[in-house]
Amino acid sequence: MTDSRKDARHKAAMAKQKARVDANIEAADTQRGVAVLLTGNGKGKSSSAFGMVMRALGYDQKVGVVQFIKGQQLSGEEIYLREHCPQVEFHQMGTGFTWDTQDRSGDIAAAQATWEKARPMLQDPAFDLVVLDELTYMIAYNYLDAADIIAAIRSRPAQQSVVVTGRGGGAELQEVMDTVSEVKELKHAFKAGVAARKGVDF
């Protein structure tokens, strides 16, 4: 095939693709907040959620973040948000997880107290984005009532977006979410003996 025929073919294919994309963009004309679930066993769930936090902050949107585990391990996102983003409402469960604390009823109390920080955010239209990091585990361990969480997500203000991260979460949670992405592990450095790294893993 001559170069000019290749060019013409390419141009036609691109025009077709553009028409398809334009039609899809035109069809997606509903303006409302979205509920996003980032799940699966691979790395990238929380980091994706914090990517959305950065996007929202770029537009001076109001952001709330509630983290449901890892209260004792400091993370780069926590340090950054606390030091540089006082406008972000940040809460953390503040205890370790069961294998650290060995205290199931204490963990349940902590989970419920933390949920009571998240709930008002989900009722407040001032928040553009609410991140509920590692929330799924609270449902999986029955520390929090899935129906209560689902009702709160469902009845949040129309323009508010919410991001939930964590493995699992159950079919009912998936049902209420608009976007569900599963991060699948193909490889993870940890399994090759590489230690979790500052700025990459925490």
Residue 163 to residue 38: CA distance in whole angstroms: 7
Q: Which of 45, 68, 95, 149 binds ligand ATP (CB under 6 A)?
A: 45
Binders of ligand ATP among residues 120 to 159 (CB under 6 A) are: 134
- The option from Mg ion, ligand ATP, none interacting with 196 (CB < 5 to 8 A, set by class) reads ligand ATP
183: nearest Cα among 169, 195, 199, 194: 169
Binding mask 30-69 for Mg ion (x = CB under 5 A): ---------------xx-----------------------
Residue with tokens 């001076």: 60
The burial class, CB within 10 Å (0-12 / 13-18 / 19+), for 187 is exposed
- The option from Mg ion, ligand ATP, none interacting with 47 (CB < 5 to 8 A, set by class) reads ligand ATP
| Binding of ligand ATP by 96 (CB under 6 A) | no
Report the 3 state secondary structure along 41-87: CCCCHHHHHHHHHHHHHHCCCCEEEEECCCCCCCCHHHHHHHHHCCC
The piece of 17-25, 42-50, 57-65, 96-104 that touches ligand ATP (CB under 6 A) is: 42-50
Q: State in angstroms the smallest separation of the CB of 144 from ligand ATP.
A: 17
Q: Where are the beta strands (DSSP E) in the chain?
A: 35-39, 63-67, 89-92, 129-133, 161-165, 179-182
Q: State in angstroms the smallest separation of the CB of 50 from ligand ATP.
A: 8
Residue 181 to residue 8: CA distance in whole angstroms: 37
Which DSSP category does 1 fall into?
A: -
Residue 131 to residue 89: CA distance in whole angstroms: 10
Could you tell me how many residues of this chain bind Mg ion (CB under 5 A)?
2
Q: State in angstroms the smallest separation of the CB of 201 from Mg ion.
A: 10
| Binding of ligand ATP by 190 (CB under 6 A) | yes
- The option from ligand ATP, Mg ion, none interacting with 95 (CB < 5 to 8 A, set by class) reads none
- The option from Mg ion, ligand ATP, none interacting with 156 (CB < 5 to 8 A, set by class) reads none
Six token digits for residue 95: 């205890």
Nearer to ligand ATP, 89 or 134 (CB): 134
Binding site for ligand ATP (CB under 6 A): 41-47, 134, 165, 183, 185, 188, 190, 196, 201-202
